[in-house]
Amino acid sequence: MLKLLVVDDEEEICDFLRIFFEERNFKVSTALSGEEALRKVEVEQPDVCLLDIKMPGLDGIQVLKEVKRRYPKIKVIMVTAIETTEKIEEAVRIGADNYITKPLSLEYLEKDVHQKISDVA
Amino acid sequence: MINYPEALKNAAKSMVRFKNPDNLLRMIVRFIAKEIGLTHASILVFDTVRQRYTFIDSRGESKLPVHLIRIDSDHPLILSFMGKGKKPHLYKDALLLSHLEKFVESKESSRGIKIKKVFDSMKSIKASVCVPSFYQGELLGVLILGEKKDRDDFTHEELSFFHTLASDAAMTIKNTEFQSQLIDRNRQLEEKLAEIKRLRKKEQETYFQIMLSLAREVREKDDSTFGHLEAVEKLGLMTAEELGIDLSGKKRDILIAGLRLHDVGKIGIPDSILKKEDKLTPEEWLIMKQHVDKGVKILEPLTDFKDVVEIVRCHHEFYNGKGYPRGLKGSEIPIESSIVSVVDAFHAMISTRCYKKGFSLEYALGELNANSGEQFHPKVVEAFISALKKNMYGYYKSRISEERQIQHEEKPNTI
């Protein structure tokens, strides 16, 4: 069973994705901030991290740097709003393994995302 | 228990208040989530720009992440609301998870697969019921409702309430859209009209300016008397004021234009006739008379100055009906034309031209009086002389006496 860490400062997003992926046989934990994410990464050692770029405090880019520095094996998929796509390039340079943009189409979420996660892992 | 008819009435009232339909939709969602006690109530709205459905709002303890998901127009959930032509669609009023469940279990056909997809999507977005918002066959949005907290089934009354609410909301969305479109279009139209008006006015003014310089050229060509048009204008205005004619607004400009442009048609008369020092032959006289019609033709494109054309058309009509081109008489002739006729004749008489010296002031006034009621309108002659005496008599007297005055015995040419 793949271990997935969902990081987003919006609680509904975390809850939604947790339920969504649990129903598809992932082991999911969530973090509402960059700081919490780093703690959970250390404790839980997830296979894949779904990481929102825009967050108050430590943002997704900073978390990505730290995760990749400490645990290069953990795969990271960035999640970003369409308006902040320019951050994607930076994330990929730092070592992000893939990215998805919000709002995701429901169909994409249902058909492709867990495939993307499995591929990465 | 909720009084649904009452709730609908209130909702309908509030809909009128909302200028922004999003606020209305948020209100509906909040109302449903709270009053009916659902795990969540959310609303999807068609984004006409991106051509897809996005969440406007979600309320309740298991609310959906509105920024995370969108639903594309070709998603099975959306398509399930679209009738496919044959028969009214099964889910036209509402899509119920409990209803789908039976189909999912019982069928493995292609239809069953489609239904399974819809079923899974509804589960993904935690929907127990989806209520479409239609406006004239257009799916504007979908109310996505979670289950009741008490886990009861939705009653028929509740479903019909959601359905009415969703249709009313769609109507409101469309109305606001139409209104803003209408306002937008009206504004654009007004801007265009203003632009056309501005251009037309500019065009008319340009044409008018050309006419004025043309008139000046004609006059110079005709008798090389510098300042004739300016003098005719001054004298004409003076006379009109004396007559008590209304010169407010455009009327003053119209009279001035008539005074300046009355002979513009002479541009089309050969120099051999225009500058002829001897008396004109009857044939030449006929040609000379055409300057009135020619002037009218030149000025006709000036649709903003129709009255000017009329003044020009009538400036050779006689009070007694013996003038040309139409032989109008008395009050049939615009008073402005009568003014042009008097002041032009007067100024022509007192002016020195290449082929004649100017007449004396007394002689000119005598001629006007002698022809009053015949060629000239008596009231205009009277007003003209009275105004001249008040305002400019001294000026003309001294100017004329400076020129070597020669009394002519013959009648002056008053074309």
ipTM for the assembly: 0.83
**Mean of all residue pLDDT scores within chain B:** 82
| Res. B248: pLDDT tops 60 | yes
Candidate from A35-44, A67-76, B178-187, B396-405 with smallest mean pLDDT: B396-405
Residues in B closer than 8 angstroms to A20, CB to CB, are 124
The alpha-helical segments, DSSP class H, found in B224-290 are 228-243, 250-261, 271-274, 282-289
Cα Dmax for chain B = 124
The CA-atom distances, in angstroms, between B146 and each of A111, B105, B124, B125, B154 are 23, 22, 11, 8, 11
Task: Please state, in angstroms and rounded to a whole number, the distance separating the CA atoms of residues B376 and B342.
Answer: 6
Q: Shortest Cα distance from B18 to chain A (angstroms)?
A: 27
Q: Which of A10, A20, A105 sits opposite B72 (nearest CB)?
A: A105
Nearest CA in chain A to B55: A103
Phi-psi region of B226 (alpha: psi -120 to 50; beta: other; left: phi over 0): beta
> Does the distance separating the beta carbons of B67 and A16 come in below 8 Å?
no
- A20 lies in some domain: yes
Q: Shortest Cα distance from A42 to chain B (angstroms)?
A: 27
- A121 lies in some domain: no
Give B26-78 pLDDT, tens digit per residue. 888 888 888 888 999 999 988 888 889 999 889 998 889 988 999 999 888 88
Give B343-377 pLDDT, tens digit per residue. 999 988 888 766 667 888 889 999 999 999 999 99
Q: Does B70 touch chain A (CB under 8 A)?
A: yes
Structural domain B224-402, CATH architecture:
Orthogonal Bundle (1.10)
Instruction: Count structural domains, chain A.
Output: 1
**Residue B92 has what pLDDT?**
61
Nearest CA in chain A to B120: A110
**Residue B86 has what pLDDT?**
42
Bridge partner list, B148? B38
Whole-model pTM?
0.56
Residues A50 and A120 sit within 8 Å (Cβ to Cβ): no
Q: pLDDT by residue for chain A (121 residues), tens digit each? A: 889 999 999 998 999 999 999 988 899 999 999 999 999 999 999 999 999 998 999 999 999 999 999 999 899 999 988 666 778 888 888 999 888 888 888 888 877 777 777 777 6
Q: Which of A16, A23, A81 sits opposite B65 (nearest CB)?
A: A16
* Ranges of CATH 1.10.3210.10 domains, chain B: 224-402
**Residue B117 has what pLDDT?**
85
Residues in A closer than 8 angstroms to B114, CB to CB, are none
Q: Shortest Cα distance from A107 to chain B (angstroms)?
A: 7
Q: Shortest Cα distance from A104 to chain B (angstroms)?
A: 5
Residues in B closer than 8 angstroms to A12, CB to CB, are 58, 63-66, 68
Q: Does A20 touch chain B (CB under 8 A)?
A: yes
Residues B124 and A110 sit within 8 Å (Cβ to Cβ): yes
**Which candidate, A64, A56, A57, A54, places its Cα nearest to that of A5?**
A64
> Does the distance separating the beta carbons of A104 and B70 come in below 8 Å?
yes
Q: Which of B40, B69, B116 to mutate to test the interface with A (most CBs of A within 10 A)?
A: B69
**Residue B408 has what pLDDT?**
43
Nearest CA in chain B to A106: B71
Give the rounded percent of residues in chain B with a pLDDT score beyond 70: 85
Structural domain B4-183, CATH architecture:
2-Layer Sandwich (3.30)
Residues B35 and B7 sit within 8 Å (Cβ to Cβ): yes
B222 token code pair: 């005709």
Task: Please state, in angstroms and rounded to a whole number, the distance separating the CA atoms of residues A63 and A69.
Answer: 10
Number of CB pairs, chain A paired with chain B, less than 8 A apart: 57
Give B293-319 pLDDT, tens digit per residue. 999 988 887 777 788 999 999 999 999
DSSP state letters, B141-164? EEEEE--BTT-PPPPHHHHHHHHH
Rounded to 5 degrees, what angle do the CA atoms B190, B174, B186 make? Answer: 5
Q: Which of B58, B67, B69 sits opposite A106 (nearest CB)?
A: B69
Burial of B232 (0-12, 13-18, 19+ CB in 10 A): buried
Residues B130 and B95 sit within 8 Å (Cβ to Cβ): yes
**Residue B12 has what pLDDT?**
65
pLDDT bucket at B394, cuts 50 / 70 / 90? low
**Residue B87 has what pLDDT?**
39
Task: Please state, in angstroms and rounded to a whole number, the distance separating the CA atoms of residues B159 and B365.
Answer: 98
Residues in B closer than 8 angstroms to A102, CB to CB, are 67-68
pLDDT bucket at B15, cuts 50 / 70 / 90? low
Q: Which of A7, A14, A16 to mutate to test the interface with B (most CBs of B within 10 A)?
A: A16
Asked whether the bond before B325 is cis by omega within 30 degrees of 0, the reply is yes
pLDDT bucket at B407, cuts 50 / 70 / 90? very low
- A36 lies in some domain: yes
Residues B283 and B237 sit within 8 Å (Cβ to Cβ): no
* Ranges of CATH 3.30.450.40 domains, chain B: 4-183
pLDDT bucket at B112, cuts 50 / 70 / 90? confident
Helix (H) or strand (E) holding A51: strand A48-52
> Chain B, 81-100: which have a CB under 8 Å from a chain A CB?
none
- A15 lies in some domain: yes
Task: Please state, in angstroms and rounded to a whole number, the distance separating the CA atoms of residues A24 and B68.
Answer: 18
Q: What is the CATH number of the domain that holds A73?
A: 3.40.50.2300
> Does the distance separating the beta carbons of B64 and A103 come in below 8 Å?
no
Residues in A closer than 8 angstroms to B116, CB to CB, are none
